[in-house]
Every structure is written in C-alpha cells, then in structure tokens.
Structure 1
Amino acid sequence: MTRFILISGCSGGGKSTLLATLQGLGFDGIPEPGRRVVAAERRVGGTALPWRDMSAFIAKTFELAQQDLRVARGAAGPVFFDRGLIDAAAARAHLTGVPLHSVLKTPSPYAHTVFLAPPWPEIFAGDADRRHSFDEAVAEYDRLCRAFDALGHEAITLPRTPPAERAQFVLSHLELSAG
C-alpha cells in the first residue's frame, strides 16, 4: 500500500480543515494545489485562474500536483494530500473531453482507499478564491466519484462531524495512530 493518502471530494466540504487537523496530530500533509495556484497567480497578477482561464489553471494545478508527489517521496511516513493529481486529471478530462486514463497516463499514485468529503451545504462558503456555486461544487463531486471508481479506488465518504472526529475516522480506517 502506498503511503500517499488522498482526501478529495466536494469543494467547501472541510478537506483543508481535516488536513490541518491531521498535521496537528503529527502527520505530513500537502495542501490543495488549486488554492496554491490561485494564490500564486493573484500575487503576480496572472491569469491562470479558474474564473479567467480554466485551461491554464488546470495545467498549473496538474503540474503542481505532480511536483507534490515528487516532494512527498522524501517523507518517512504516510502523507495526506488535500486534493491531488486525480482531481486535476478529472478536471482536465471534463474540460477537454479526453478520457481520464489518457489524461492521467500512469496508474494512480495514491493508496487504494481515498477519502471523500461529501457535499455539506451547512459549511460550504464561497470566498475571493472560491467563486463557484454549491451546485457547481456538487457537480464536481459527482465527477470525482466517477473518476475514483474508474481508477479502481475504494472511496470512503467522510462523516459530517467535527474535524477531530473526522481525523479519528480516517486514522481508524487506515489503522494509524497519532503521535
């Protein structure tokens, strides 16, 4: 089993908060590539933003997710990813119509079990960097569910619980302990 554990799912579903909780318990974690691309583009006045140039945004997100995997190889233990290469590949496949397997070109680098944050309207909130609607987030979630199924992953839906309980849920499924 690979040490790379993917947390994916609905935008605004608590993935980043879960990652921060797991990091607080001593685990390595990689923040969401898309959010980092948006921050970098905004700093330099770039246009690779999902609301300006989705193709360029996805290309940069895909590239950053690949870099994240290379960096994570140096970690000793499990590494949790807030989104990753499959998320970027699924977005590219949706945008271009190219089949997911053709976009990804390699087997999934993540553990067989992936964790999906379900749509959770009570916590979903837009912001300056998350400009899409809840309905668009749900449509993306549905695409991701199909992508993980197509790649043979076991997708486990995260409970709608506080972050510490969610973290324990994940660690229990992986038979890991904090510390």
Structure 2
Amino acid sequence: MPVQRAAITGAPGAGKSTLLAELSRRGVTTVEEVARTILRSAGGMALREEDPLAFADAMLSAQLAAWDETQADGPVVFDRGFPDIAGFLRVEGLPVSGAIARACEEYRFDGPIFRAPPWRAIYTPDDERIQDWQEAIASDRAVCGAWRDHGYALIDLPLVPAEERASFILARL
C-alpha cells in the first residue's frame, strides 16, 4: 500500500502537537513539526529571530528530509507541511523563494489537510511558540492562505479534546 500523506496546519497553540501525540498513540505514523525541532537545536531560536529567510531554508531542508524518510503502510500525518513555510514567510513580510514554491508544487500531500483553528481556551505561549494571540491568528490566516493558494482544501478540526479530534481525523483518512 502506498504512503498516504496528510497534514495538520493552522494556528500556533491550537493543539496540533497534542493531537499528533494522540494519533501516534493510536498507531498512526506521525511526523513532528520541523520548525520546533530546529528551534530546540543550538542557535535555532536566534536563526528564526535574526535571519527568517535562513530559518525558512532550514525548515525546507528538514521538511524534504522528513518527506523522503517517510515509510509506512497506510497514512502518515505531518505536523505542518511545505505551504506552512510559505505562510511563515508571508507573516514575516518576506518573499517566498523559488525553492519553497517548487516544493509546495512538487511534493503534494494526497491525504486530507486538517486545520486546527485558533482556540483561545488552550492557547499558551512557550519557549518555541513566541507569538501573542493576535500574531497566532495572523499566522493561521497566512498558512491557511498558502495551503489554499497551492490548491488544497482544508478541513477544520472541531474544538474538542484531542481524543475526539483524533477520531475525527481517523474517520477521514
């Protein structure tokens, strides 16, 4: 059976990581958000703050590696995808490089794209999630716009506990 790649996008702090952990607990293959991995590495936060273009390039390299390493019999759910990198650059007011635009077109997700909408009740900044609430809403608009601009339809996740969200996703994979 070929790999079916799905993704979860949307607002920072909207429960994506918690949801992926629940999907993984249920046996679904998941791929962690590459930006968080970079931010946790030495110099990652400084790179994001001081050189957003280089940070976007680092995300692209990590996303391509995650894509190429994906091996599964059945669905794989990514925490974000290539259009999220384009959305990040939009939020930063920076141009999307040709390499990122090409990746958005050439590496197509064939499974559903789920959107975790902004959810004030659970939003909490942390060491890697530095946006305030208004910035989180702007990020959601930018990344969702990037996905749509690349031809994807988004399915909004309900504002319910992770266990119910996981069941919602599993019913659509």
- Shorter-chain TM-score range: 0.7 to 0.9
Structure 2 runs not aligned, ≥5 long? none
The question of 1:81 aligning with 2:78 is answered yes
CA displacement at 1:129 relative to structure 2: 1.6
Distance of aligned partners of 1:2 and 1:86 in 2 relative to their CA distance in 1, 3 Å threshold:
farther
- Equivalent-residue separation in structure 2 for 1:22 and 1:38 (angstroms): 23
Give the TM-score of the pair, scaled to structure 1: 0.85
CA distance in 1, matches of 2:30, 2:111: 18
Matched, 1:172 2:149: no
1:61-119 superposed Cα distances (whole Å, 9 cap, x missing partner) = 111011110011x22221110112221133235543348x8732133421252000000
Amino acid aligned to 2:19: L
* Structure 1 stretches of at least 4 aligned residues deviating more than 3 Å after TM superposition: 92-95
Tell me the equivalent position of 1:67: 65
Question: After the TM superposition, which residues 49-60 of structure 1 pair with which residues of structure 2 at under 5 Å, given as runs?
Answer: 50-60=48-58
2:162 — aligned with what? 163
Q: How many matched pairs?
A: 169
In the alignment, the residues of structure 2 paired with residue 27 and residue 92 of structure 1 have an alpha-carbon distance, to the nearest angstrom, of 30
Could you say which residue in structure 1 is the equivalent of 2:6?
5
Change (3 A) 1:46 1:122: closer
Aligned to 1:177: none
TM-score w.r.t. length of structure 2: 0.88
List gaps (5 residues or longer) in structure 1: 175-179
